[in-house]
Amino acid sequence: MNTLQEISKVLLSSKKIGITYHVSPDGDAVGSALALLNGLKFLNKDAYLISKDIISENLQFLKSSSEANGKVIKPLSETDVVVVVDCGNFERISAELKEFKGSIINIDHHISNDKYGKFNYVDINAAATAEIVFELLNIMGINFDKVNEDLYEIGTCLYTSLVTDTGGFRHSNVTSRTHKIASKLKEIGVNNTYIYQSLFDNNSFEKIRLIGKSINNMELLLDRKVSLIKIPKSYGEELNIEIGDTSDIISFGLQIKGVEVSVLIKETENGSKASLRSKNEIDVRKIAEKLGGGGHVKAAGITMNGLNLEEAKDKILEQIEKELL
C-alpha cells in the first residue's frame, strides 16, 4: 500500500488527470470523485471526470456533476493518471481502462479491494471514501480553514458522501473522525439542510408510488428475520420512471422489529441485481461474496446475470439461512 503523501506527489506532478468511480455510482462515489475533481481544478490542475454512468438526479446539485454526460468513458489522450474512488474491483470501474497505459490510483474503503492500481490506498475504517479524499486534499494544500466559494463547493461534495454512506450519520461505520470532518465543513459554511433536502426531499410523485408498490410486495422470511422486496421491470413501465437508486427502499426492511437482513432484488436487462443490508451482526458482504458480489459488512450487493427474480431470491435465501444458524 502507498501513503497519501506519495499519492499527493503523483497527482501534483501529473499533467492530465482522469477521475472515475464504481458503476451505478452512489453518493459517496460521486461526492468523493467530484470533491477530488473540484479540488484539483482549484489547484489549477488539468482534471476531468470519466463516467460510463449518468449521475442520478438527486446528486446533480453537486458542482461539475454535469461532466458525467456519457461522452467521456475512457481516458482522454495524454492522460498520465486515472484516479478511481470508492471501487473495490477493476471490473466494476465506470470507465474503459483496459488499454490505458498510464498509472491508476485506487482510493477506497472496501474490505474486498483487489489493489488493482499502480498506487493503492485503502482505509477500511473510513466511513466513506470522502474521509480519505478530505485527508488527501489537505495534504495537497487545501485546508478548509476559510469561507470561500470553491471550498464551499468541494465541502458540499464531501459532506454529501459522508451523509449518504453513513445513512445520515447513523450507521456503525461512523467514527469521531467522520464527525470531525463534518464539523470542519460546517465551519466553512457547508449547508447540511440544503444537502439533505437536495438528496432526500426531492423525489418525484412516481418515485414515491414506486416505494409504495415495492413495500406492498415485501415478504418476511426465515422466521421473520429477513425482509425481501422484488422490483420487476414492469413497475418502472407502469409508473413511467427509470428504476434508479433504490437504497431508500431497501432501508424500509430494516425498520421492522426483529428483521436482521433486508434484501432488495431488481430485475435488470441481464438478469437480477441484489442489494443486502444488515442491522446488527450478520456479515452481508460474506453472503454477497459467496454469490460473486461484494461490499461492506452491513451493505453489500450482487450482480446476478442470467437469473430471474425468483431464482436470485432462492440463491440468496439459501446463503442467508446458513448465516442465521
3-state secondary structure of 220: strand
8 binds ligand 5GP (CB under 6 A): no
Q: Give the per-residue contact string, 25-44, with Mn ion (x = CB under 5 A; - = no).
A: ---x----------------
25 binds ligand 5GP (CB under 6 A): no
User: 5 Cβ partners below 8 Å, 6+ apart?
Assistant: 139
> Whole-number minimum distance, CB 225 to ligand 5GP, in Å?
19
> Whole-number minimum distance, CB 193 to ligand 5GP, in Å?
25
Neighbours of 141 (CB within 10 A): 11
Binds Mn ion (CB under 5 A): choice among 165, 235, 291, 312: 165
- Cα–Cα distances in angstroms (integers) from residue 284 to residues 78, 262, 323, in the given order: 41, 10, 9
Q: Which of 282, 273, 223 is closest to 250 using CA atoms?
A: 273
What's the one-letter identity of residue 142? I
Binds ligand 5GP (CB under 6 A): choice among 303, 307, 309, 316: 303
With 0-12 / 13-18 / 19 or more C-beta atoms within 10 angstroms meaning exposed / middle / buried, residue 145 is: exposed
> Whole-number minimum distance, CB 266 to ligand 5GP, in Å?
9
Q: How many residues contact ligand 5GP, by CB under 6 A?
A: 16
- Cα–Cα distances in angstroms (integers) from residue 163 to residues 156, 171, 205, 248, in the given order: 10, 10, 23, 13
| Residue 28 interacting partner from Mn ion, ligand 5GP, none (CB closer than 5 to 8 Å by kind) | Mn ion
| Residue 253 interacting partner from ligand 5GP, Mn ion, none (CB closer than 5 to 8 Å by kind) | none
Binds ligand 5GP (CB under 6 A): choice among 2, 247, 268, 308: 247
3-state secondary structure of 157: helix
Q: Give the per-residue contact string, 85-104, with ligand 5GP (x = CB under 6 A; - = no).
A: ---xx--x------------
For residues 57 and 25, give the distance between their C-alpha atoms in angstroms, rounded to a whole number.
12
The residues of the shown chain that bind Mn ion, judged by CB under 5 A, are 28, 86, 129, 165
The residues of the shown chain that bind ligand 5GP, judged by CB under 6 A, are 22, 26, 88-89, 92, 247, 275, 293-296, 299-303
